[in-house]
A and B are shown apart, each in its own frame.
Chain A
Amino acid sequence: MSSRRWQGRALLVTGAIIVGATAVAAVIGPWLTPFDPASQELPLRLAGPTASHPFGLDELGRDILARVLAGARISFAVGLAVVSVSASVGTVLGATAGYFGGMTDDLISRVIVILLAFPGLLLAIALVAVLGPSLANVLLALTVIGWVGYARLVRGQVLRAREFEYVQAARALGASAPRILWRHVIPSAIPAVVVQATLGMAGAIIGEAALSFLGLGVQPPTPSWGTMLNGGRAHLLDAPHLTIFPGVAIALLVLGFNFVGDGLRDLADPKQARR
């Protein structure tokens, strides 16, 4: 096995362990700690880590470990919802643009170019600003900016794939356009979409946390890692644990998804590896 493939596999395994462990912790969270994420112990507010509260308590006396675990469920839910809808919409529109070309391609490509003119989360911030802060609007905003990357990727792949001989053979045999797209063209783009989707999970998790941190995402008392970090800003001096633990959780999970994405890319396309 080449060193690059070995490196890809090592990254993939490390990332999968981090993501898997976080997912298991998120699912069995209610059994990992006896505390409810919403229940308060006001006399212990801002108390640091102890044996019974390993991550300490927040400004309202709530157990931070329980809230970090509940926040993990929100992060995974947001990531999965945003990535699955964005990848599906982006794949269909990208494949349609790439395969049919002409006016369809022009229209879809123009929308892509305009949406890409808004850097990073800016359009999501703008959308949530006008629609109002809520989890549903965060999902909508992240999906609106999310599908574009998949569409651009799949369009490029399809432009290449439609010239392949097996695709031309299917066309010559009279296969309909939807059948060619579904059976022959889109499957060739799937490996690239999977890599993008893995990295997209990291992006969606950071996106949700960033919007919640700015007060535009998940609203208190629902525990979200971004909201928890926002709450911790007022207590950097007296209770830094409010900032440290949710931040470690975000960085670890994002690192895990980045490892998996990088590892899959290394295995799928060694030429592009480690960029």
Chain B
Amino acid sequence: MLHFLLRRLLLTIPVLLGVATLVFSLLHLVPGDPVEAMLGESASPQEIARVRTQLGLDRPLYAQYWTFLEGVGRGDLGVSLRTNEPVAQAIATRMPATIELAIAAMCLAIVVAIPLGIVAAAGAGTIVDYAATTLALAGISIPNFWLGPLLAIVFAITLGWLPVSGSGTLAHLVLPAITLGAPLGAVLARMTRASVLEELRELYVLAARARGVSRAGAILHHAFRNSLIPIVTVLGLQTGAVLTGAVITETIFAWPGVGRLLIQSINFRDYPLVQGCILLIAVTYVAMNLLTDLAYGMLDPRIRYE
């Protein structure tokens, strides 16, 4: 297991280096002078020169790159041009809100989608199956930037049950969590249904039934357990969708997380903050993929010996 873990960790290093390089080059993709783009036309030449020095843009490219990598290694992502707050600190203060939202959305998706997928597989071809698959397909097709406002219209504005935006209480979390969790739940339900259905056709399930195991027992203790790998894969891969979805969901519900910070920093052309947010989200995604790989190893010992 240790060898498997080390090999996976080593494979992640070049990916992280590539991600950091791409994030570094973002500032150099700005058409024209990035400092002038950030400060606007009214900025004085002295101010432009000061910010250029602050960002190190007056130094050779290789020196800028090395300083950037060094800073990333130390957790120093520069300073926000708008607030002068260190980027790492600005992100750290908003990270808990994003984590809270992402965990709530994923828990909601798992709690609803996995039983739904199992029920659909158990009753394949019945009205329950069709209802579940239609619901899942709707969940995939309805984008969260429409679902969020729709939920707000119904539950916040028409019924007045929940707050339309903000944070701080459990009630504030409900609509953003549903908005963010719905597409993930839809994908999970489809995958659970397909995997359980596939396992139900296997001979070992028939053997369990022949030994007198109940149908529910055969599904839960045999078929479902073996269908966990594709389900975990989807859950791991969908972390990316959750992280990107958080950018949109946080913007809709004014949720004070990293996603909203990213959009605000884009609107203010605060490029160091944009770079910091993008880097953090990408690194989180890479880490989640690594954890998914490690989870495979635990779920299926054959994988770690490959």
Closest Cβ of chain A: how far from B234's Cβ, in Å? 9
Q: Does B256 contact A (CB under 8 A)?
A: no
Q: A250 with B146: in contact, given A215-B267, A216-B266, A240-B153 (CB under 8 Å)? A: yes
- Chain B: minimal CB distance from A205 (Å): 9
| B146 & A274 in contact (Cβ 8 Å cutoff) | no
Do A236 and B149 touch (CB < 8 A)? yes
Q: Is A117 an interface residue (CB 8 A)?
A: yes
Contact status B285-A118, CB under 8 Å: yes
A211-269 with Cβ < 8 A to chain B: 213-216, 226, 229, 232-233, 236-237, 240, 243-244, 246-247, 250-251, 254-255, 258-259
Add 13 more A-B contacts to A130-B29, A132-B31 (CB < 8 A).
Answer: A3-B125, A114-B18, A114-B21, A120-B240, A120-B241, A126-B26, A129-B274, A130-B34, A236-B153, A244-B150, A251-B146, A274-B133, A274-B194
**Which listed residue, B143, B252, B289, touches A209 by the CB 8 Å rule?**
B143
- CB-based contact B137/A113 at 8 Å: no
A243/B146 contact (C-beta < 8 A), A117-B18, A130-B27 known: yes
A127 in complex: contacting residue of B19, B29, B281, B289, CB < 8 Å: B29
Inside 8 A of B18's CB, which chain A residues have their CB? 110, 113-114, 117
CB pair A254 B143 closer than 8 Å: yes
Inter-chain contact total with CB atoms closer than 8 Å: 139
How many chain A residues sit at the interface, stated as a range, is 35 or more
Given A131-B31, A209-B143, A250-B143, are A214 and B248 neighbors across the interface (CB < 8 Å)?
A: yes
Check A131–B145 contact: CB distance below 8 A: no
Measured CA separation A105–B227 after assembly (Å)? 33
- A210 within 8 A of partner (CB): yes
Residue in B closest to A240 when the chains form the complex, CB atoms: B153
Q: Label chain B's interface by main secondary structure.
A: helix
A residues bordering B, Cβ < 8 Å? 3, 110, 113-114, 117-123, 125-127, 129-132, 202, 206, 209-210, 213-216, 226, 229, 232-233, 236-237, 240, 243-244, 246-247, 250-251, 254-255, 258-259, 274-275
Chain A at the B interface: SS class: helix
| B249 vs chain A, min Cβ distance (A) | 11
A residues in contact with B31, CB < 8 Å: 131-132
Chain B residues within an 8 Å CB radius of A129:
26, 266, 274
**Are A125 and B262 interface neighbours, CB within 8 A?**
yes
Distance between B157 CB and nearest chain A CB, rounded to angstroms: 5
- Which residues B19-51 have CB closer than 8 A to chain A? 19, 21-23, 26-27, 29-31, 34
Residue B251 interfacial (CB < 8 Å): yes
Instruction: Report A-chain residues with C-beta under 8 Å of the C-beta of B146.
Output: 229, 243, 246-247, 250-251
Residue ID in chain B nearest A114 by CB atoms? B18
> A114 and B19 in contact (CB under 8 A), knowing A129-B266, A258-B137?
yes
Minimum distance in angstroms from B236 CB to a CB of chain A: 11
Nearest B residue to A205 via CB reads B143
Q: For B157, give its contact among A122, A216, A236 (CB under 8 Å).
A: A236
Q: List 24 A-B contacts (CB under 8 A).
A: A113-B18, A114-B19, A117-B18, A118-B282, A119-B240, A119-B241, A119-B244, A120-B245, A122-B243, A125-B278, A129-B266, A130-B34, A132-B31, A210-B143, A210-B248, A216-B266, A236-B152, A247-B143, A250-B146, A251-B138, A251-B141, A255-B137, A274-B190, A274-B193
- Point out the residues of chain A lying under 8 angstroms from B263, CB to CB: 214-215
- Using Cβ atoms and an 8 Å threshold, which residues of chain B touch A114? 15, 18-19, 21-22
B145–A130 touching, CB < 8 Å:
no
Q: Does B14 touch A at the CB level, under 8 Å?
A: yes
* A131 engages B190 (CB within 8 Å): no
Q: Which of B16, B138, B153, B262 contacts A243 (CB 8 A)?
A: B153
User: Does B140 make an interface contact (CB < 8 A)?
Assistant: yes
Neighbouring B residues of A131 by C-beta, 8 Å:
29-31
Contact B138 A275 (CB under 8 A): no
Among the listed B19, B133, B193, B241, which residue makes an inter-chain contact with A117, where contact means beta carbons less than 8 Å apart? B19
Output the nearest chain A residue to B152 by Cβ-Cβ distance.
A236
Q: Are A125 and B252 in contact (CB under 8 A)?
A: no
Bound complex: CA A233 to CA B263 (Å): 16
